[in-house]
Structure 1
Amino acid sequence: MSKTYVAVDIGASSGRLMLAQLKDGKLDLQEMHRFKNGFKFSQGHDRWDIDHLVDEIFCGLEKIKQAGYDEVSLGIDTWAVDYVLVGENGEKLQDPVAYRDERTKESMGDLTTNVSKEYIYEKTGIQFLNFNTLYQLFAEDKELLAKTAKIMMIPDYLGYVLTGNAVTEITNASTTQMLSLREGLFDEKLLEQVNVSANQFPKLVDAGTVLGPVDLKWTEKYDLPKIEVVTVATHDTASAVVGTAGEGHNWAYLSSGTWSLIGTELKVPENGPEAFAENYTNEWGAYGTYRFLKNIMGLWMIQCVKRELNDEYSFAQLAEMASKEEPFQQYIDVNDDRFTNPENMIAEIQAYCEESGQKIPQTPGQLAMAIYSNLSLYYANELDKMDKIMGYHIDTLNIVGGGSNVALMNQLTSTVAKRDVYAGPSEATAVGNIVVQMITNGDILNIYLARRIISGSFPIKHFTPEDGKYEGQLDKYQEFLKVNN
């Protein structure tokens, strides 16, 4: 029997500990612990309760020990861009501010009056989002930064709390929009703009670096298995791409969760003028790759709608109700800033449609279909853009994450994009986290073999374009975006 592996996989709304082993050449994956996550308004900002996340990790590890697993390898992945400020005493100075907080509303505009967007993109290859770490640090309390010994990205901080060892893992570091695309170091000119220095970040390491054992103080406090922590691809999207089966020729991926990340895997970054104009990013991936992708509003919209309906319906029920409605009854720019963190998502969607003179979705099914059909159009539009930027046709789209379970949206995407869609695994982030650990430990030779194992371990659903349906919808949507942007 292979070694036992644990993925700590934490997203914006929930986290879980997943346990895996290789059995007969297949990945056997099981959820051991799940918990809620979310930011709350505190001390003037929307903040993450980072101590809660630490407590839940230990709660899950105790469950794993109680289930009879005495020795495990463990990796941590979370969302990107957010960070923890750590003082000289090794303790956090405050709970981290969440990326959806409004403090960065003007930061990008203010900073780019000093340093041009062209310089930033040429240096970093990272797309412009007003919550990137660069703009968060620009808006940060200067007195607090002066007291900061170390700036740690969220998963790096969690690894530090567990082991006492501090690193900056490169797939997540790249999302800061401060890492030089070709030198692999923080850009001094950009650091100067935000009043920090390179030595305030722990050393940069690649995905697959052994971090070390859990600190003795925790083994005395909790009933834990013996644990070795591996620094995996700590950005959850980087792990999700590792965990993608990569079916088809010239394939693209869509990591479909709270955010939708659509892109392709490259060996050489693409930060030319077309990519800059379309705001594509070149985040670093595991094993010498780049994640050339676009950040799109994802299932966040349907998550908000579900919550605002008092969780009366499950996601499956909302999708079922949506399937009874006609798609494409209104066009919505799902990436409009107004949908980032509105007070009421339902009211915001309805106001958008009213302001643009379109049919207003009223029922839960109509709202769900408005979201799913417009996400599918946005995905198709981005695939067209990637074709032009890359200079070749992307044949297939591999959808992973929670959105891979939404058959309605996957079929709409296949049809309007006129490409085959492969959906699954839904647990790609945890799978990618585990796979990096397995490669580090020698249980899997490399990423190519890992993807074969993934393809044979999980059901991958295949969607093909429906001939003659929804002809012209993508053209109309593209025209709508031109007029309304």
Structure 2
Amino acid sequence: MANFIAVDLGATSGRVAVGSVTSEKIELEIAHRFSHEIVEDTDGSILWDWKLITSQVLIGIQKCLERGLPISLAIDSWAVDYGLLDSQNQLISRVHSYRDPRTFKAFEELLAELGKERIYQETGIQFLNFNTLYQLVAAKSDESYKAASKLLLIPDLLNAELTGVISTEVTNASTTQLLDVKTRKWDYPLIDLAGLRSEIFTELHEPGAEIGVIKGFGALDGIKVVATASHDTASAVAGIPFEDRDTEAYISSGTWSLVGIESDVPVTSHQALAANLTNELGAANTVRILKNVTGMWLLEECRRTWRSASEEWTIPQLVDEASRNLDFLSLIDPDDPRFRTPGEMPARIVTYCLEKGITPPRTKGEFTICILRSLAAAYKKTIAEIQTVTNKKITTIHILGGGSQVSLLNQLTADACGVRVKTGPVESTLFGNIAVQALSAGVVPSLQAARSLIAKSFISEEFMPS
């Protein structure tokens, strides 16, 4: 049995787990879970509580050590956000959240200046106002940006704190819209055109690369840190037990819904640009052709608003209410920009409906079924776009992550898309994180071999279109 530690940081929670790889399967034991939320600074900036996140990760690693010494440790997280380091490798910037509205102006101005074609032809990345490219353009006047020696994305920012090693993993780097998706290198001509400081971008490494060992943390010292596919969606896709990649798609369902396929090559055609598809890098030299669709964020923000009014609703309770309101048919566009920032989500949904001449939801059940059915409709549209661009015929969709536990959404997705839906693994990101570490350590011979073990490690449900 070979043990590995996986740190998985999501946009609302984190967990640290031990993965035990045997010849039969991969067993996961989550040693530590924690919640975290974005916080608003005095100037209105929306930030991550970085001290809380790092302290909780250290607690989780310590708990994992109680299960025995691991072969290695690897970190994955959400994409696009970063920290800036000085010449002594000390963090000198606040860690902004991608939900900070500072990027909207920079986004519009840079697109007007450079044009979408120039940006897309090399990067192949979906245009989203919060991509790192626009965050950095928005930060040009910040003192921390002017003084910075290096930029690191979230997983490698934490790797640097643990090991002192400065380097950037390519799957997360590809989300920045600053990487050449064909060469898997920084797009320095684009960096220059955007007026950014090219010297802050670090050397790149691939999934499976050895980073270093933990130093300066007492009992944790000496643990080997390696790179997994450090974008959490890249790890999640590495954890999918595909049967036939050519006919299968996936939806990584959480705060965001990442809808896509795994490919050996990127697609940056005019059709792909028109569909606003993204080409993000994956483990084992793969490419994830996908689209970011707003996911359970909508319902979580509704819950947060209701909680502030002393109404506590769980997801199962809301889904139960939704199942009693199936005759409510109003749909919204989950990707309307008004839904991207936090706060008063129910009121925003009502305003959207009134503007569009749609019957607005009134009850908790109507809000929930409106959101779930709207997500399924967005999935259908995205799957159709991917099929058109790639000339593939999708017959199965794997739904991964926490959202895969919402059976009503799974059935609505099968009905909307007209194909079989298979669930799980719920912990696909942890499985994928461990799989890449096991491949790096020589415990498994290939990613496909690791996926075969994953297939034996969980129970999947199937939903057929009705």
Interval containing the TM-score (normalised by the shorter chain): over 0.9
- SS of the aligned residue for 2:321 comes to helix
CA contact (8 A) 1:327 1:369 kept: no
Deviation at 1:410, TM superposition (A): 0.6
TM-score, normalising length from structure 2?
0.96
Aligned position for 2:220: 224
Aligned position for 2:286: 289
CA contact (8 A) 1:245 1:454 kept: yes
Tell me which of 253, 261, 266 is aligned to 2:263. 266
Deviation at 1:120, TM superposition (A): 0.6
Deviation at 1:183, TM superposition (A): 2.6
| Cα distance change of structure 1 residues 213 and 88 upon mapping to structure 2, 3 Å threshold | same
Aligned position for 1:483: none
Look up the equivalent residue of 1:263 and give its one-letter code.
Answer: G
Aligned position for 2:110: 111
Aligned position for 1:88: 87
CA contact (8 A) 1:236 1:429 kept: yes
Distance 1:357 1:272 in 2: 36
Deviation at 1:37, TM superposition (A): 1.7
Deviation at 1:88, TM superposition (A): 1.2
CA contact (8 A) 1:252 1:394 kept: yes
Distance 1:349 1:9 in 2: 31
Aligned position for 1:246: 242
Look up the equivalent residue of 2:269 and give its one-letter code.
Answer: G
Aligned position for 1:167: 167
Aligned position for 1:393: 393
Aligned position for 1:352: 352
CA contact (8 A) 2:156 2:169 kept: yes
Aligned position for 1:478: none
Cα offsets for 1:359-406 (capped at 9, x unmatched): 221111111111111101110111112121112311111110111101
Aligned position for 2:404: 404
Aligned position for 2:97: 98
| Cα distance change of structure 1 residues 327 and 4 upon mapping to structure 2, 3 Å threshold | farther
CA contact (8 A) 1:76 1:159 kept: yes
Aligned position for 2:418: 418
Tell me which of 305, 309, 329 is aligned to 1:308. 305
Moved more, 49-58 or 4-13: 49-58
Aligned position for 2:367: 367
Moved more, 292-301 or 113-122: 113-122
Deviation at 1:72, TM superposition (A): 4.5
Look up the equivalent residue of 2:377 and give its one-letter code.
Answer: L
Distance 1:304 1:228 in 2: 38
CA contact (8 A) 2:257 2:293 kept: yes
Moved more, 349-358 or 261-270: 349-358
- SS of the aligned residue for 1:330 comes to coil
Look up the equivalent residue of 1:264 and give its one-letter code.
Answer: I
Q: State the identity %.
A: 38
- SS of the aligned residue for 2:284 comes to coil
Unaligned runs of 5+ residues in structure 1 are: 467-485
Distance 1:35 1:321 in 2: 28
Distance 2:178 2:42 in 1: 27
Deviation at 1:177, TM superposition (A): 0.4
Distance 2:330 2:53 in 1: 40
| Cα distance change of structure 1 residues 225 and 25 upon mapping to structure 2, 3 Å threshold | farther
- SS of the aligned residue for 2:125 comes to coil
Q: How many residues align?
A: 460
Look up the equivalent residue of 1:158 and give its one-letter code.
Answer: L
CA contact (8 A) 2:5 2:64 kept: no
Moved more, 293-302 or 379-388: 379-388
Look up the equivalent residue of 1:81 and give its one-letter code.
Answer: V
- SS of the aligned residue for 1:17 comes to strand
- SS of the aligned residue for 1:457 comes to coil
Distance 1:172 1:408 in 2: 31
CA contact (8 A) 2:99 2:342 kept: no
Deviation at 1:41, TM superposition (A): 1.3
- SS of the aligned residue for 1:309 comes to helix
Deviation at 1:416, TM superposition (A): 1.6
Distance 1:447 1:64 in 2: 25
Look up the equivalent residue of 2:361 and give its one-letter code.
Answer: P
Deviation at 1:180, TM superposition (A): 1.3
Deviation at 1:188, TM superposition (A): 2.2
- SS of the aligned residue for 1:114 comes to helix
CA contact (8 A) 2:83 2:94 kept: yes
CA contact (8 A) 1:396 1:421 kept: yes
Deviation at 1:299, TM superposition (A): 0.5
Distance 1:327 1:7 in 2: 43
Distance 2:59 2:184 in 1: 36
CA contact (8 A) 1:72 1:225 kept: no
Tell me which of 257, 277, 300 is aligned to 1:280. 277
Tell me which of 254, 269, 273 is aligned to 1:257. 254
Look up the equivalent residue of 1:57 and give its one-letter code.
Answer: V
Cα offsets for 1:148-170 (capped at 9, x unmatched): 10000011100010011111100
- SS of the aligned residue for 1:268 comes to coil
Look up the equivalent residue of 2:73 and give its one-letter code.
Answer: L
Aligned position for 1:322: 322
CA contact (8 A) 1:174 1:284 kept: yes
Aligned position for 1:479: none
2:98 aligned with 1:78, yes or no?
no
Cα offsets for 1:304-353 (capped at 9, x unmatched): 11222216121111111111111561021111001101420011111111
CA contact (8 A) 1:328 1:374 kept: no
Deviation at 1:141, TM superposition (A): 3.7
Distance 1:309 1:135 in 2: 32
- SS of the aligned residue for 1:105 comes to helix
TM-score, normalising length from structure 1?
0.92
Aligned position for 1:127: 126
CA contact (8 A) 2:214 2:220 kept: no
Distance 2:144 2:61 in 1: 33
- SS of the aligned residue for 1:375 comes to helix
Distance 1:324 1:73 in 2: 48
Stretches of 4+ moved more than 4 A in 1? none
CA contact (8 A) 1:186 1:198 kept: no
- SS of the aligned residue for 1:326 comes to coil
Aligned position for 1:212: 212
